[in-house]
């Protein structure tokens, strides 16, 4: 055997998928990408865990089916989803229905933190059990927007309305009314 050669012919390709305990986590949107998986178009939304502790910064994906991909697949690529798709229903739950029916903006994800439910994938696409050491975590559902000002620019936050917890401003002091009789 030549120097530098390994006796094992196979290697693992790519990064090991993250595995964290199932539960609810605060998440920050990183980016979206599209891919064909088993010849079907898919939309991946990538998030980072924001909860303090061992899993802070862990990257997890929320997977959706897409009707079709527009142009090339990849990071920040364009896609089309159906009216009854999981993506559109979750989007409407989080941000309201899109204002334009011909376009769905991804920018609302960039401006907020959200609560998501994470689960462990224990069975593969063929419903066979995945070995314990090969299991991984995915975002099962995006539940709600947690904070809409977490990533706002300083100029936007300065002009924004005060938080609900702030005390309301004092009412204006009424000016005394001048009587016509005293003016005579």
Cα 63 to Cα 138: distance, rounded to the nearest angstrom: 8
Query: How do residues 13-51 score in pLDDT, each as one tens digit?
Result: 888 999 999 999 999 999 999 999 999 999 999 999 999
How far is residue 111's CA from residue 37's CA, in Å, rounded to a whole number? 29
Asked if the model's pLDDT at residue 182 lies above 80, the reply is no
Return the DSSP state at 131. Answer: P
Counted residue by residue, the chain has a size of 184
**Which residues neighbour 13 within 8 Å (Cβ) at sequence distance 6 or greater?**
none
- Which residues lie closer than 8 Å to 45 by C-beta, 6 or more apart? 29, 32, 61, 62, 64, 109, 139
Global pTM reads 0.74
Q: What is the largest CA-CA distance in the chain?
A: 117
Distance CA 117, CA 156 (A): 30
Q: Between 163 and 93, whose confidence is greater? A: 93
- Residue ranges per domain, the chain? 26-151
User: From the CB of residue 17, how many other CB atoms can be counted at a distance below 10 Å?
Assistant: 14
Block residue for tokens 């964290």: 20
pLDDT in tens, 54-105: 999 999 999 999 999 999 999 999 999 999 999 999 999 999 988 877 789 9
- What's the pLDDT tens digit per position in 103-160? 899 999 999 999 999 999 999 999 999 999 999 999 999 999 998 654 444 444 444 4
**Which residues lie across from 7 on neighbouring strands?**
none
3-state secondary structure of 180: helix
């Amino acid at each position: 055997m030549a120097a530098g050669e390994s006796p094992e012919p196979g290697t693992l390709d790519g990064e090991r998928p993250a595995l964290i305990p199932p539960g609810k986590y605060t998440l920050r949107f990183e980016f979206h990408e599209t891919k064909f998986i088993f010849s079907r178009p898919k939309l991946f939304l990538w998030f980072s865990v924001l909860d303090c502790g061992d899993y802070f910064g862990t990257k997890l994906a929320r997977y959706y089916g897409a009707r079709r991909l527009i142009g090339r697949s990849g990071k920040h690529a364009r896609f089309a989803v159906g009216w009854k798709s999981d993506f559109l229903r979750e989007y409407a739950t989080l941000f309201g229905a899109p204002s334009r029916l011909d376009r769905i903006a991804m920018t609302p994800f960039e401006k907020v933190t959200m609560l998501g439910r994470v689960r462990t994938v224990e069975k593969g696409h063929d419903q066979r059990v995945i070995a314990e050491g090969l299991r991984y975590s995915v975002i099962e559902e995006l539940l709600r927007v947690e904070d809409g000002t977490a990533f706002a620019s300083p100029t936007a936050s300065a002009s924004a309305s005060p938080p609900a917890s702030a005390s309301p401003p004092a009412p204006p002091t009424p000016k005394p009314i001048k009587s016509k009789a005293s003016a005579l």
